[in-house]
């Protein structure tokens, strides 16, 4: 038996997966066809889900803002007209709201099983709020500041805040039940590997009454006794090669691999196929004899897992990135609207045809999106399918087109794609569906190419500010682009987005490879 001397991620790291054995084949995602049963199950789960973590975060933010707002509103209506002490009341309001959220958190008031029960919710929020108000009063007393505050204000806040929490949590219970009845408040999981290990895992998960994991099916390359067609009522939906397409169609949140850790080579082969999906990948550890450091494990109830890959930019990270996109895209449209107007007029005056050009490109999770650009070619020579790469001196490109392509002004309409939600401001650049080099599609050139679609594509990205912009006329260039994209995904932060955004105009001065 191994001792606790290592970390699971040292064994199954992202780099090791990418550099796994050469005999681990990568299937072309375009060519996989699901069987009828897998299609039916995927369509059943194709609607969007709401992550339980998102609901918990929403409850925390709403309660903090609402309690602070109620306190300040009472201050403005009752205390403010008599004496100006805004700073003291603002500090008390924020501190009281913070202590309330912290108190509710401490007694598990933001857990999924709490959201399901109105009695449990109300008792916990009232206990948390009452404790916070008692602590606030005690702090005021010992700091000899209680005389600075109105008793009417404090009593009114206590009553109004408590009433808000009761009614908000009743609504939250109703909302959670409605989402659960629609099958939207859950984490959808697929088990990779069948047989008795899968059966034992499913039984253990189903015994966890508060678990929000919903098993959608099983995928396994094996057959016969080692992997029967049905495991404790769950069907085997196909092979691991088919799982990639199924995961995209069914909007899967988690993949659970039940193969033993001792089969390291086989696990690496599986991960090399599966890591392109924007999902959490876990190794089931409940039957393994290997032991790792405690921080290697996560738990669903009492079931231990080894966390191998995390879904990038998920939950509140996704919310903060979306707010970032909306703010800076709106600001850019206002500031750049004169440039866009002049460009549109110049395009219209030089050649006939529409001002804007639409091209189908790969978006998040391999979904195809229509990306907007200013038209840079003669309309009758346009190439929406990107069958021929634009080269230096290309006769299809207009005079205006050459200028706006060199300066990247042709990309500015993609700000509307950002507002619509199809693109992000920063991310891997969206490539045309048929993008190729030397008659080879880019997903055939680069191992794990589709992993760059684990996040929403961007108007600009890490590859662009590192010099990999413009024509891709050899395989090395697309490989370097993809390496930059994967670095961005693995190291994302809002500060990195801000850095890329502000460096982009400077990097556009280099027009060497832009035709």
Distance CA 466, CA 163 (A): 55
Q: Output the CA–CA distances (angstroms, integers) from residue 322 to 315, 316, 318, 484, 497, in the order listed.
A: 11, 10, 6, 22, 12
Q: Output the CA–CA distances (angstroms, integers) from residue 485 to 404, 462, 468, 480, in the order listed.
A: 25, 7, 11, 9
For 506, other C-beta atoms within 10 Å of its C-beta total: 9
Nearest alpha-carbon partner for 283 in 302, 298, 265: 298
User: For 250-287, how does the pLDDT look when each residue is reduced to its tens digit (9 = 90+)?
Assistant: 888 888 888 766 666 777 777 777 878 888 888 877 65
Helix, strand, coil percentages in the chain from 3-state DSSP, rounded to 5: 55, 15, 35
Quote the DSSP letter at residue 76.
I
Residue 179: which H helix or E strand, with range? helix 151-181
CA atoms within 13 A on the CB side of 342: 8
- Say whether 509 sits in a helix, a strand or coil: coil
The CA-based angle 434-435-440, given to 5 degrees, is: 90
The pLDDT profile of the chain, 515 residues, written as one tens digit per residue, is 344 444 555 555 555 555 553 344 444 445 577 888 888 888 877 667 777 777 888 899 999 999 999 999 998 888 766 666 778 888 889 999 999 999 998 888 888 778 888 888 899 999 999 999 999 989 888 877 777 778 888 899 999 999 999 999 999 988 888 887 776 777 888 888 878 888 888 888 887 766 778 888 889 888 777 778 888 888 888 888 888 888 888 888 888 888 766 666 777 777 777 878 888 888 877 655 555 555 556 777 667 777 788 888 887 788 889 999 999 999 999 999 999 999 999 998 888 889 998 888 888 888 888 899 998 888 777 766 666 666 677 788 888 888 888 888 889 999 999 999 899 999 998 877 766 665 566 766 676 777 888 889 999 989 888 887 766 666 777 888 888 888 899 899 999 999 999 998 887 766 555 54
Quote the DSSP letter at residue 466.
T
User: Tokens for 294?
Assistant: 């405690």
Q: Output the CA–CA distances (angstroms, integers) from residue 280 to 112, 181, 245, in the order listed.
A: 19, 24, 16
User: What pLDDT is stored for residue 36 in this prediction?
Assistant: 84
Contact indicator for 387, 393 with CB cutoff of 8 Å: no
Nearest alpha-carbon partner for 500 in 325, 276, 312: 325
Quote the DSSP letter at residue 99.
H
Nearest alpha-carbon partner for 154 in 62, 64, 70: 70
Contact indicator for 286, 204 with CB cutoff of 8 Å: yes
Contact indicator for 460, 501 with CB cutoff of 8 Å: yes
Q: Tokens 């460096």 sit at which residue?
A: 503
Residues 6 or more apart whose CB falls under 8 angstroms from that of 217 comprise 38, 41, 190, 191, 234, 235, 236, 237, 246
User: What pLDDT is stored for residue 423 in this prediction?
Assistant: 93
Residues β-bridged to residue 218 = 191, 236
DSSP code string of 251-279:
T--EEEE-S-TT-HHHHHHHHHHHTTSSS
User: Tokens for 325?
Assistant: 């996109």
Contact indicator for 189, 253 with CB cutoff of 8 Å: yes
Distance CA 462, CA 448 (A): 18
The CA-based angle 255-257-261, given to 5 degrees, is: 145
pTM of the model: 0.74
Distance CA 152, CA 325 (A): 43
Contact indicator for 209, 180 with CB cutoff of 8 Å: no
Contact indicator for 458, 424 with CB cutoff of 8 Å: yes
Contact indicator for 400, 508 with CB cutoff of 8 Å: no
User: What pLDDT is stored for residue 287 in this prediction?
Assistant: 56
């Amino acid at each position: 038996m191994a001792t606790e001397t290592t970390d699971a991620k040292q064994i199954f790291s992202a780099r090791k997966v990418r550099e796994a054995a050469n005999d681990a084949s990568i299937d072309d995602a375009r060519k996989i066809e699901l069987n009828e049963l897998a299609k039916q199950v995927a369509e059943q789960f194709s609607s969007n889900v709401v992550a339980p973590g998102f609901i918990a975060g929403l409850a925390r933010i709403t309660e903090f803002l609402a309690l602070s707002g109620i306190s300040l509103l009472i201050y403005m209506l009752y205390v403010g007209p008599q004496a100006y002490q805004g700073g003291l009341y603002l500090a008390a309001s924020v501190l009281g709201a913070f202590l309330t959220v912290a108190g509710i958190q401490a007694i598990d008031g933001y857990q999924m099983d709490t959201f399901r029960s109105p009695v449990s919710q109300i008792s916990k929020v009232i206990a948390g709020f009452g404790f916070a108000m008692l602590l606030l009063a005690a702090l005021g007393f010992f700091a000899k500041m209680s005389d600075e505050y109105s008793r009417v204000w404090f009593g009114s806040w206590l009553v109004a805040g408590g009433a808000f929490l009761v009614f908000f949590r009743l609504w939250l219970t109703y909302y959670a039940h409605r989402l659960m009845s629609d099958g939207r408040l859950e984490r959808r999981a697929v088990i990779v590997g069948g047989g008795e290990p899968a059966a034992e895992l499913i039984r253990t998960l189903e015994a966890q009454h508060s678990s929000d994991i919903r098993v959608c099916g099983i995928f396994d390359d094996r057959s016969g006794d080692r992997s029967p067609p049905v495991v404790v009522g769950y069907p085997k939906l196909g092979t691991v090669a088919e799982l990639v397409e199924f995961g995209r169609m069914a909007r899967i949140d988690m993949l659970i691999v039940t193969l033993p850790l001792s089969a390291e080579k086989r696990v690496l082969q599986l991960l090399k196929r599966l890591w392109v999906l924007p999902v959490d990948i876990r190794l089931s550890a409940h039957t393994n004899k290997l032991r790792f450091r405690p921080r290697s494990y996560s738990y669903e109830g009492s079931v231990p897992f080894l966390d191998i890959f995390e879904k990038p930019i998920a939950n509140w990270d996704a919310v903060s990135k979306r707010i970032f996109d909306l703010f800076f895209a709106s600001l850019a449209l206002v500031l750049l609207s004169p440039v866009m107007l002049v460009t549109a007029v110049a395009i219209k005056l030089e050649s006939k045809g529409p001002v804007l050009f639409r091209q189908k490109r790969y978006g998040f999770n391999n979904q195809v999106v229509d990306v907007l650009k200013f038209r840079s070619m003669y309309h009758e020579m346009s190439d929406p399918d990107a069958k021929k790469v634009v080269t230096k001196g290309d006769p299809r490109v207009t005079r205006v087109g050459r200028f706006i392509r060199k300066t990247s002004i042709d990309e500015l309409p993609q700000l509307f794609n950002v507002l619509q939600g199809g693109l992000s401001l920063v991310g891997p650049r969206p490539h045309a569906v048929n993008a190729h080099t030397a008659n080879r599609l880019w997903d055939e050139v680069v191992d794990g190419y589709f992993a760059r679609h684990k996040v929403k594509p961007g108007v600009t990205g890490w590859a662009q500010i590192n010099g990999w912009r413009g024509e891709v006329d050899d395989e090395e260039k697309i490989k370097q682009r993809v390496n930059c994209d994967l670095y961005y995904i693995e190291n994302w932060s809002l500060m990195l987005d801000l850095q890329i955004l502000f460096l982009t105009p400077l990097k556009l001065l280099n027009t060497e490879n832009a035709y």
